[in-house]
């Protein structure tokens, strides 16, 4: 845990240290106030011997001694205000640098988590639940933040406070100081014990709340079922049951908490009372001055609350360990390694050689081999689950082909020897359900290309037949996508994604079922322009629609992870296999020609 | 839902009065709390008096006799204060949880009465936070907000009274500190409130960014924009950093200011009080009490200012909850109907007529509550009991409108829907809904076992009934495949089952009550061939002998229908039997052709 903390507090450490130092100074001057009051009561108003450090004594004498102060009580008052101002100033500095330190730490942590999730392999993402990751990146970060900004500092501050108070108190009257000190372990133990004990009850309450929450949520998401079966009464009964239980659990906890608070108050007040009573006895018998008694009372009051909190803080600090562990799990997952050839020969032929690939234990590709000649258009026909998407994932190394499962080469170079990012930059991929970011449409199209060239963006949008739709939105190209803006239809998203990929001018373009939501005419029009826009690019078209594939230079048919037919459109029709049958169905019956 | 966004610094009493009925229910514990907190805070306010007494009686004259008794009395007061704390904490908890419970219940009940149309425009997450967190915050304001405020107020009043009893002239000076501290805290708290709001906004943007970064991981990788994402995320966390530090500095400045106010008070006591002690106008004990008060009175003032800002902030929650409670129930049974048939929570089933399932649309005009064009214009159609009606059309064409009207999830804008010859508004909603068997496209199951889910269709059903219903629609095969059979937990929303399995269970749930009216929204999502076959068998078995509305996506289902209604762009464009419509060669014929291609394609690849 310490290593974890240090790693993310590189530029925050000195602020945290400064904060602690300033807190010490602030506490010191805060403790000076009661001393000034005590001194005034004893040696100015009263006639006790002054008992000041040498330099203060000299200053006191030069000022004119007791007589001067008696005539000018305002000087004592000014001393109180001055120490308050100094204490306040350092308090402010302490808090500001604490904030600067913890917020730096938090930013480091947040950025590191984000960066790491960006560079984790795609397979990691498919294996983990989004909600869980987000929770780790948000609430666990918050726990870590609180750990430093509140708990850790609170402990340090309380320790300084107690030590400083005790030093001063012991210098005045060791016996009374020892008595005051005697209460502290007891108070701390009581609080720690109690909090550990009710932590379980708290957890139970939280769990009941979770159940109630789930109940309401299920009722709301299932509202159509509830209504259709007329089950409102049943639902209300169920809700009442949980709602009552929830209230009951908390009220029960309230009883325990009440006792805890009450006893805590009593213990602290008894501590103060003992100081007052014993102190009064000591003062009455001349073993303590009145001023010192007032200092004791004041210090005891100041210490009471932080000491009570300390027990709670200590018991809560243990929770932070769990959060650190959960974050570490993300940060320790191995990220994708870049490395390899940064300028791979992407304009060469793409070759799949005996590729076999499995997810978990399910084989999705079996001994797949084919060659895509550079600059040609290549079609892959297959149904859902035939393994056609896996081909694209392997090609741009979203999934890594393990050793011994065949080889994928581009321009004769194994893609595993290429720099991952150079490869992906060179493979423009459009997916069936493309993801658009919640930015403007313009930014979405220019996302990978970063050209900032508005005219070019419009040209590519026109090539993807989406320009008309975009002009129709209220803010045109500057319309926001997503929650804060327009919701695009599946077909519109696909076309924006096509424009986005066209912008990159990648030497290899893969359209993975990316025209499925478009009608045949738009599909054909876009294909024509794509071919014109990307003259020398190698294009892979993946579809279950013959009309999308028929103009390709070569087509393969994929079924259950195997290549079962390959050839040109006409060759495949001649061959009379699955391709032919799909063609017949899609063109509406038996005619050979469309 | 409507919601105002601007509530800076204005306390709207009318909103708070809306809570009256809920507070009334907790009058007793609230009063107990208030009485006890007064005891506790007055005890605390009296502590300096003991110091003062000890100084005057023991320290100054140098007497030790009576210190024991003094300590005893002091301890008793402390004990009384402690007991008061324990009990008012408990009753405040009762106040908090009871008001919270009542508010939650009121929201829940109202949500059961709101029309389905309300749910299609309001996200569940939004409603959930109204029912859960907003009500929690309101109830904690009613209890702890009031407690803190009154406790501190009592303390201040007590302290002021004690000070005046001790030395009015010095008390008058000290009191001046109260408004100064209050004003300073108030100004700062309001600023902090605004900053906090900003921070929360940034915080949710950060959560959003994580969400996008993770759900969009595939896109980011294929576009190789990871570095750009990290850079823009860094900008966002940078903004959050600055906002957080600014807020912390505001807070960091407030504290020393308050400390400063306190030191001014101490300084005043020292100057004025010290002088009086020297000239003999006051004793040292009184002065030491004043010093304690000078320090002690500051914090309660700060607390009160803090509580007031909290209350201001909580007002938004009241606004949101009352807005939810004020949301109109567009579909409501009339008083006479409720009188005869009961409402959704207290039905009078003894007065319910049996239902045959004859549905008539009588000159129905309809448009959706959120506006737009007429969806139905003067539509009339008689569906005799036992008819199977298939509704077909493109996705988003408005196929569910007729079903929603027949089931009275919506009511016609004009015209009538008759059930068994009588306007459906003449009977209660529950009467109709209890006779429906519904299978929805995305079949929602509740967490619990398979048996419990099937029993949802008829709560008093025996185990044999559950099994019989399951067998009727082949859902028994789902149960047979699972480790614990009918006792298998399905998980939240039925997540542990596949869509096809969920649909079979929901068929059984619909069938167990043997409903005269059956509604089916066929699944479009891909279901494995085997389950698909089971579902097709289930459909043909459940159609016999009841009125059925099917929003159909499969040819085999459509061909079984007695009547086919073709919907396009929210309007009914054709109606008739399969033969008639094919012969007409219109929209239906085209749609049929497209569906045929799709299904046959799937068959070719599915190993024939």
**What SS3 class is residue A135?**
helix
CA distance B472 to chain A (A): 19
- At A188-230, the pLDDT tens digits run 888 888 888 888 888 888 888 888 988 898 899 888 888 888 8
Task: Give the separation between CA A509 and CA A539, rounded to whole angstroms.
Answer: 5
SS3 per residue for B338-387: HHHHECCCCECHHHCCCCCCCEEEEEEEECCCCCCCCCEEEEEEEECCCC
Q: Which pLDDT belongs to residue B526? A: 55
| Chain A residues inside the 8 Å CB shell of B346 | 233
User: Which residues of chain B from 32 to 71 reach within 8 Å of chain A, CB to CB?
Assistant: 40, 47, 50-51, 54-55, 58-64, 67, 70-71
Shortest CA distance from A448: residue in chain B: B223
In this complex, the residue of A87, A107, A122 whose CB is nearest that of residue B241 is A107
Segment A154-176 mean pLDDT: 91
In this complex, the residue of A45, A227, A240 whose CB is nearest that of residue B278 is A45
- At A485-508, the pLDDT tens digits run 677 877 888 899 999 999 988 999
DSSP state of B16: H
Segment A257-277 mean pLDDT: 90
Q: Where are the domains of chain B?
A: 13-326, 355-431+519-529+547-608, 436-514
Test B230 with A100 for CB contact under 8 angstroms.
Answer: no
- At A74-121, the pLDDT tens digits run 888 999 999 999 999 999 999 999 999 999 999 999 999 999 999 999
Q: Which CATH class is domain B436-514?
A: alpha beta
Test A92 with B108 for CB contact under 8 angstroms.
Answer: no
Burial A486-518 (b: 16+ CB within 10 A, else e): bebeebbbbbbbbbbbbbbebbbbbbbbbbbbb
Q: Which pLDDT belongs to residue A450? A: 85
Task: Give the separation between CA A259 and CA A270, rounded to whole angstroms.
Answer: 16
| B235–chain A Cβ distance below 8 A for any pair | no
Q: How far is CA A130 from CA A243, A330, A434, B213, in A?
A: 30, 12, 18, 10
Kind of pairing between the strands at A413-414 and A427-430 = unpaired
Mean of per-residue pLDDT scores for chain A: 87
DSSP state of B217: H
Biggest alpha carbon–alpha carbon distance for chain B: 119
Test A134 with B214 for CB contact under 8 angstroms.
Answer: yes
**What SS3 class is residue A554?**
strand
User: Which residues of chain B from 326 to 355 reach within 8 Å of chain A, CB to CB?
Assistant: 344-347
In this complex, the residue of A220, A273, A434 whose CB is nearest that of residue B124 is A220
Task: Give the separation between CA A564 and CA A561, rounded to whole angstroms.
Answer: 9
In this complex, the residue of A218, A233, A434 whose CB is nearest that of residue B493 is A218
Nearest to B408 by CA among B366, B379, B371, B373: B366
Q: What is the dihedral of CA A501, A503, A504, A506, to 10 degrees?
A: 70
Axis crossing angle, helix B463-472 with helix B529-543, rounded to the nearest 10: 110
Domains and CATH numbers, chain A: 1-173+288-336 (1.20.1560.10), 174-274 (no CATH), 350-586 (3.40.50.300)
**What SS3 class is residue A380?**
strand
Test A277 with B270 for CB contact under 8 angstroms.
Answer: no
| Chain A residues inside the 8 Å CB shell of B223 | 424, 447-448, 500, 504
DSSP state of A343: S
| Chain B residues inside the 8 Å CB shell of A118 | 213, 217, 220, 226, 229-230
- At A293-316, the pLDDT tens digits run 989 998 998 888 888 888 778 777
| Chain B residues inside the 8 Å CB shell of A216 | 108, 128, 131-132
**What SS3 class is residue B549?**
strand
Task: Give the separation between CA A124 and CA B148, rounded to whole angstroms.
Answer: 49
Beta-carbon contacts of residue A283 (< 8 Å; ≥ 6 apart): A289, A290, A292, A293, B58, B59
Q: What is the dihedral of CA A504, A506, A508, A510, to 10 degrees?
A: 0
Domains B355-431+519-529+547-608 and B436-514 share a fold: yes
pLDDT band at A385 (very low <50, low <70, confident <90, very high): low
Q: Which pLDDT belongs to residue B397? A: 64
CA distance A79 to chain B (A): 8
Answer yes or no: are the C-beta atoms of A576 and A546 closer than 8 Å: no
Compare B329 and A243 and report the one with higher pLDDT: A243
SS3 per residue for B431-464: HHHCCEEEECCCCCCCCCEHHHHHHCCCCCCCHH
Q: Which pLDDT belongs to residue B480? A: 87
Test A130 with B93 for CB contact under 8 angstroms.
Answer: no
Test A41 with B284 for CB contact under 8 angstroms.
Answer: yes
Beta-carbon contacts of residue B212 (< 8 Å; ≥ 6 apart): A437, A438
CA distance B371 to chain A (A): 19
Task: Give the separation between CA B90 and CA B32, rounded to whole angstroms.
Answer: 10
Report the share of chain A in percent with pLDDT over 70: 98
Task: Give the separation between CA A281 and CA A293, rounded to whole angstroms.
Answer: 10
In this complex, the residue of A81, A232, A382 whose CB is nearest that of residue B344 is A232
Test A228 with B438 for CB contact under 8 angstroms.
Answer: yes
Nearest to A153 by CA among A110, A96, A196, A198: A96
Q: Which pLDDT belongs to residue B524? A: 60
| Chain A residues inside the 8 Å CB shell of B85 | 258, 261-262, 265
pLDDT band at A484 (very low <50, low <70, confident <90, very high): low
Test B55 with A290 for CB contact under 8 angstroms.
Answer: yes
* CATH number of B13-326, picked from 1.10.10.10, 2.40.110.10, 1.20.1560.10, 3.40.800.10: 1.20.1560.10
pLDDT surpasses 80 at A458: yes
In this complex, the residue of A74, A435, A585 whose CB is nearest that of residue B216 is A435
Cβ-Cβ contacts under 8 Å between A and B: the total is: 418
In this complex, the residue of A240, A255, A280 whose CB is nearest that of residue B54 is A280
Write out the two tokens for A7. Answer: 């790693």
Q: Which pLDDT belongs to residue A591? A: 39
**Of A33, A83, A273, which to mutate for an interface test with B (greatest number of B Cβ within 10 Å)?**
A273
Test A251 with B237 for CB contact under 8 angstroms.
Answer: no
Task: Give the separation between CA B107 and CA B1, rounded to whole angstroms.
Answer: 14
Q: Which pLDDT belongs to residue B318? A: 92
Task: Give the separation between CA B490 and CA B558, rounded to whole angstroms.
Answer: 31
Q: What is the ipTM of this complex?
A: 0.85
Name the stretches of chain B with pLDDT < 70. Answer: 1-9, 371, 395-397, 523-529, 602-608
Shortest CA distance from A37: residue in chain B: B270
Beta-carbon contacts of residue A571 (< 8 Å; ≥ 6 apart): none
Task: Give the separation between CA B307 and CA A144, rounded to whole angstroms.
Answer: 27
| Chain A residues inside the 8 Å CB shell of B251 | 95
Test A229 with B446 for CB contact under 8 angstroms.
Answer: no
Test B274 with A137 for CB contact under 8 angstroms.
Answer: no
**CA geometry: angle B202, B203, B208, nearest 5 deg:** 95
Q: What phi, psi does A507 have (nearest 5°)?
A: -70, -20
Test A261 with B259 for CB contact under 8 angstroms.
Answer: no
The CATH architecture one would assign to domain B355-431+519-529+547-608 is: 3-Layer(aba) Sandwich (3.40)
Kind of pairing between the strands at B422-423 and B414-419 = antiparallel
| B254–chain A Cβ distance below 8 A for any pair | no
Answer yes or no: are the C-beta atoms of A212 and A242 closer than 8 Å: yes
pLDDT band at A590 (very low <50, low <70, confident <90, very high): very low
Q: Which pLDDT belongs to residue B3? A: 44
């Amino acid at each position: 845990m310490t290593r974890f903390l240090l790693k993310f507090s590189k530029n925050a450490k000195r602020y945290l240290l400064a904060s602690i130092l300033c807190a010490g100074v602030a506490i010191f001057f805060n403790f000076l106030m009661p001393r000034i009051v005590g001194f005034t009561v004893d040696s100015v108003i009263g006639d006790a011997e002054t008992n000041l450090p040498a330099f203060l004594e000299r200053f006191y004498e030069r000022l004119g001694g007791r007589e001067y102060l008696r005539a000018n009580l305002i000087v004592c008052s000014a001393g109180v205000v001055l120490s308050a101002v100094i204490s306040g100033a350092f308090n402010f500095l302490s808090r500001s640098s604490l904030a600067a330190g913890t917020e730096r730490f938090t930013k480091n942590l947040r950025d590191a988590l984000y960066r790491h999730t960006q560079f984790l392999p795609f397979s990691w993402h498919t294996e983990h639940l989004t909600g869980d990751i987000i929770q780790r990146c948000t609430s666990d970060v918050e726990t870590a933040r609180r750990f430093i900004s509140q708990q850790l500092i609170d402990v340090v501050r309380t320790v300084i406070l107690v030590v400083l108070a005790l030093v001063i108190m012991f210098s005045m009257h060791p016996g009374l100081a020892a008595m005051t000190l005697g209460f502290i372990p007891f108070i701390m133990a009581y609080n720690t014990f109690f909090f550990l004990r009710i932590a379980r009850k708290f957890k139970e309450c939280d769990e009941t709340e979770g159940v109630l929450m789930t109940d309401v949520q299920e009722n709301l998401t299932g509202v159509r079922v509830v209504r259709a079966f007329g089950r409102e009464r049943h639902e209300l009964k169920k809700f009442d049951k949980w709602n009552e239980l929830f209230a009951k659990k908390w009220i029960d906890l309230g009883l325990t908490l009440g006792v805890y608070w009450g006893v805590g108050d009593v213990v602290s007040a008894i501590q103060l009372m003992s100081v007052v009573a014993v102190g009064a006895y000591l003062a009455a018998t001349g073993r303590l001055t009145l001023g010192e008694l007032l200092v004791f009372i004041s210090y005891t009051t100041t210490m009471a609350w932080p000491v009570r909190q300390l027990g709670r803080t200590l018991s809560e600090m243990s929770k932070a360990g769990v959060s650190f562990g959960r974050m570490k799990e993300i940060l320790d997952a191995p990220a994708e390694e870049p490395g390899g050839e940064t300028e791979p020969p992407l304009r060469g032929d793409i070759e799949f050689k005996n590729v076999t690939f499995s997810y978990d234990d399910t084989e999705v590709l079996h001994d797949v081999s084919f060659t895509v000649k550079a600059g040609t258009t290549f079609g892959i026909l297959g149904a859902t689950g035939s393994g056609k998407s896996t081909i694209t994932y392997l090609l741009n190394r979203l999934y890594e082909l393990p050793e011994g499962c065949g080889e994928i080469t581009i321009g004769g170079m194994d893609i595993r020897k290429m720099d991952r990012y150079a490869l992906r930059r060179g493979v423009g991929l459009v997916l069936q359900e493309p993801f658009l970011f919640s930015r403007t449409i313009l930014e979405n199209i220019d996302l990978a290309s970063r050209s900032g060239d508005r005219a070019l963006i419009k040209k590519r949008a026109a090539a993807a037949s989406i320009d008309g739709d975009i002009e129709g939105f209220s803010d045109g190209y500057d319309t926001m996508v997503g929650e804060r803006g327009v919701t695009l239809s599946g077909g519109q998203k696909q076309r924006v994604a096509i424009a986005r990929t066209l912008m990159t001018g990648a030497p290899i373009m893969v359209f993975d079922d990316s025209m499925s939501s478009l009608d045949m005419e738009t599909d054909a029009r876009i294909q024509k322009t794509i071919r014109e826009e990307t003259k020398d690019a190698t294009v892979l078209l993946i579809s279950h629609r013959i009309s999308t594939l028929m103009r390709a230079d070569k087509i393969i048919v994929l079924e259950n992870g195997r290549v079962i037919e390959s050839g040109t459109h006409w060759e495949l029709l001649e061959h009379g296999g699955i391709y032919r049958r799909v063609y017949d169905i899609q063109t509406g019956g038996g005619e050979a020609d469309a | 839902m409507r919601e105002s966004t601007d509530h800076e610094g204005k306390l709207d009493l009318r909103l708070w009065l809306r809570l009256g009925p809920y507070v009334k229910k907790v009058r007793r514990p609230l009063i107990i709390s208030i009485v006890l907190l007064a005891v506790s805070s007055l005890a605390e306010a009296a502590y300096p008096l003991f110091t003062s007494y000890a100084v005057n009686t023991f320290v100054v004259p140098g007497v030790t006799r009576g210190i024991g008794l003094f300590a005893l009395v002091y301890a008793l007061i402390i004990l009384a204060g402690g007991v008061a704390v324990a009990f008012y904490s408990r009753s405040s908890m009762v106040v908090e949880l009871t008001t919270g419970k009542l508010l939650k219940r009121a929201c829940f009940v109202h949500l059961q009465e709101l029309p389905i149309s309300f749910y299609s425009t309001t996200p569940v997450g939004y409603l959930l936070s109204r029912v859960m967190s907003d009500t929690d915050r309101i109830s904690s304001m009613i209890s702890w907000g009031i407690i803190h405020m009154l406790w501190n107020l009592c303390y201040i009043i007590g302290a002021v009274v004690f000070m005046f009893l001790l030395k009015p002239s010095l008390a008058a000076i000290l009191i001046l500190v109260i408004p100064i501290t209050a004003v300073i805290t108030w100004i700062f708290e309001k600023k902090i409130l605004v900053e906090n709001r900003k921070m929360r906004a940034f915080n949710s943007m950060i959560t959003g960014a994580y969400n996008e970064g993770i759900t969009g991981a595939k896109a980011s990788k294929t576009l190789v924009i990871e570095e750009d994402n990290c850079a823009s995320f860094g900008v966002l966390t940078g903004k959050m950093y600055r906002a957080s530090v600014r807020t912390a500095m505001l807070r960091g400045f407030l504290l020393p200011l308050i400390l400063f106010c306190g030191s001014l008070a101490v300084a005043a006591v020292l100057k004025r009080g010290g002088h009086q002690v020297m000239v003999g106008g006051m004793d040292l004990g009184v002065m030491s009490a004043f010093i304690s008060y000078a320090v002690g009175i500051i914090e309660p003032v700060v607390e009160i200012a803090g509580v007031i800002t909290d209350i201001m902030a909580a007002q938004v929650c009241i606004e949101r909850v009352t807005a939810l409670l004020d949301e109109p129930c567009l579909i409501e049974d009339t008083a006479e109907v409720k009188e005869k048939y009961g409402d959704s929570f207290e039905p009078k089933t003894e007065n319910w007529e049996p239902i045959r399932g004859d549905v008539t649309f009588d000159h129905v005009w309809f448009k959706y509550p959120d506006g737009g064009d007429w969806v139905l214009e003067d539509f009339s159609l008689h569906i005799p009991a036992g008819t199977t009606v298939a509704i077909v059309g493109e996705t988003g064409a408005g196929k569910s409108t007729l079903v929603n009207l027949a089931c009275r999830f919506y009511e016609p804008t004009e015209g009538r829907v008759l059930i068994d010859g009588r306007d459906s508004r003449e009977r209660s909603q529950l009467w109709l809904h209890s006779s429906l068997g519904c299978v929805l496209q995305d079949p929602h199951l509740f967490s619990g076992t398979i048996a419990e889910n099937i029993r949802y269709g008829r709560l008093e059903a025996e185990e044999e009934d559950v099994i019989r219903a399951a067998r009727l629609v082949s859902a028994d095969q789902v149960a047979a495949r699972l480790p614990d059979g009918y006792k298998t937990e399905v998980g939240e929303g039925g997540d542990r089952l596949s869509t096809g399995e969920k649909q079979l269970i929901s068929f059984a749930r619909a069938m167990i009550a043997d409903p005269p009216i059956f509604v089916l929204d066929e699944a479009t999502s891909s279901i494995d061939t085997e389950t698909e076959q089971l579902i097709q068998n289930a459909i043909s078995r459940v159609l016999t002998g009841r009125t059925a509305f099917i929003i159909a996506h499969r040819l085999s289902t459509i061909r079984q229908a007695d009547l086919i209604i073709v919907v396009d762009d929210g309007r009914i464009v054709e109606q008739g039997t399969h033969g008639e419509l094919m012969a007409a060669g219109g929209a239906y014929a085209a749609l049929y052709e497209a569906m045929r291609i799709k299904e046959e394609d799937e068959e070719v690849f599915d190993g024939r």
